Structure 1
Amino acid sequence: MNRIAITMGDPAGIGAEIVLKSLSILTAKSIPVVVGDIKVFDQLCSRLPSLPRFSFKHPGNGSLGDVEFSDIGCIDTVEAGLSDGRCGEASYRYIMEALKFVFTGEASALVTCPISKASLSMAGIPFPGHTELLAHAGGVDSYVMMLANPKIRVSLATIHIPLATVPAEITEEKIFRCIRITTRSLQERFSIKNPSIKVCGLNPHAGEKGVIGHEEDGIIRAISRAQSMGMDATGPYPADSVFHHIDCDAYIAMYHDQGLIPVKTIDFERTVNITLGLPFVRTSPGHGTGFDIAGKGTANPTSLIEAY
């Protein structure tokens, strides 16, 4: 029976809540293997008695309709919405344990609930987020973060870096790799035989032929290189208008907010984070830890259900 590993994310966030709210739907698809701290779930259910409760099985002992739980046992109690290095360390341990299930073939894919980058940093974990951590664990140095929902897909040329450093990162090689990995993933993961990709410019008006910056020069060379290899990539397009009419299989944005604003504006609740280029399937809800609503019972599980 197919199993999919789910990490509970930051213990102080909404991860445990959205997991509990989604399990009745997820168990109809495969066997979820939740990786986290059972005491955090128990504490949450005591605080919010209306949440659904489950009788968890040990990993490997469940069948369709069951939920398996791998209890890491590193957090006893947590204050909702207030994360720290202890929660960052726990988040990291959940991910590494879940990867064991994936690498041994006990789970066919990995779904990760949101973590706090600040908490990871406080714990001394040398990765800014899931994407970079999982790429390191998977032994790859070429990977792409894609945000997708039923209406639009956007890959990012750069991810979790300060905006001031983005222009220097917009190189021909980086943009070409992003186009190549996105194209291959659309073919292999989404079964799109000849995917079409539109590439954004970095500057207003996509540089206006060099009048408003020269970063587009490298983008243009990358697109030409991809086209010479048979990939259907075009651009660069001005980012303020290219998303107005969705008419391609994926877009490539130059930086985090350039790509995530249109995706989340179009369909926030069903947006999913997908890491392309890994040797395994990894998805995540498209939202964050929800510290402001943690422990209140108002978290929406839709994005986690979509990710699964």
Structure 2
Amino acid sequence: MKHTRLLMFLPLFLALSVSCTKEDDEALIQDLLESSWYLADGALRNHDASTHVPRGGISTIALVDTIPYVRWVRWIERPVVREYDIIITGDSADVTIRAYFHGTPPGYGFFVNNDPLEPIYQRALADSVLRRVKLWRDANNRWRLASLTVANICTQNTDHPVTINEVRAYVASRNYEFVVDNANTYFEKNALPIFYPDDTVEVTVICSAQDDSTWAFHHHGTGHRPGIGHHIRQPLYRESTTAFSRTWVIAHDSIMVTPAVRHSGVDVLGWQTLFGDVNAAYYSRAWCLPYIVLQPGEEVPDDEE
């Protein structure tokens, strides 16, 4: 009888053991994703507080950009809660990361000044972000990053959805090119954009919006957490209705120690969002992806600090 009771409880003990192991693994994976050079707050830091609060008045700096006068900033309500859907199969794991960015005026939202003689317009924003990550478990039972997709950020429930068709980065001096044309493409770490400190990169974006035109901006220099890197945002030059480009000088990111991981984003906003009046709505699409800056011969950085 005693042996029968032990056998009855054995499946329960095994189930509890498996459950605890699964929960432990999920916690370890989430900790890694929230501290990694390649993930953490990188995409959010590209999207939030994009510049100082826009101010009216004629700029003292003569702009040579093709973009009309506009000053804008996003302020996103915090904290931003990330949702992790973790599926573990043996020594590998697939993770879907979701989050939602909200901003409701007057304290939060999208703030834009598109005429020095007009006030700052405030627009409510509601964006969602989706990123997928693959991981593997090493011989020391540590979870490691295998590959990741872009962080795909888009406005919810808009009548004017914005589409990014392609982002291309080209370094002519060494005939190096990186292309992403699908938000679901996975990139291993050594397949992410890799630049040298003296590289000059030509960035090209192909994009569009339903029933509207767009303008593309490039964010770069941001680290995975505050205190690392500094945020630079520049408008791209319009080449055609759907194509934008601009030169990116890696040295301007002021990366003093290599190898380093920073975060970039291509941020496409609707024309009416930027240049419309007080009644215009906010709509955008952004693809954010980490990039690596290293000297020739250096190794790609590890997963985390």
Is TM (by shorter chain) over 0.5?
A: no
Calculate the TM-score normalised by the size of structure 2: 0.28
* Greater Rg by CA: 2
> Larger strand proportion, structure 1 or 2?
2
Question: Does 1 or 2 have the higher relative contact order (CA < 8 Å, sep 6+)?
Answer: 1
Calculate the TM-score normalised by the size of structure 1: 0.28
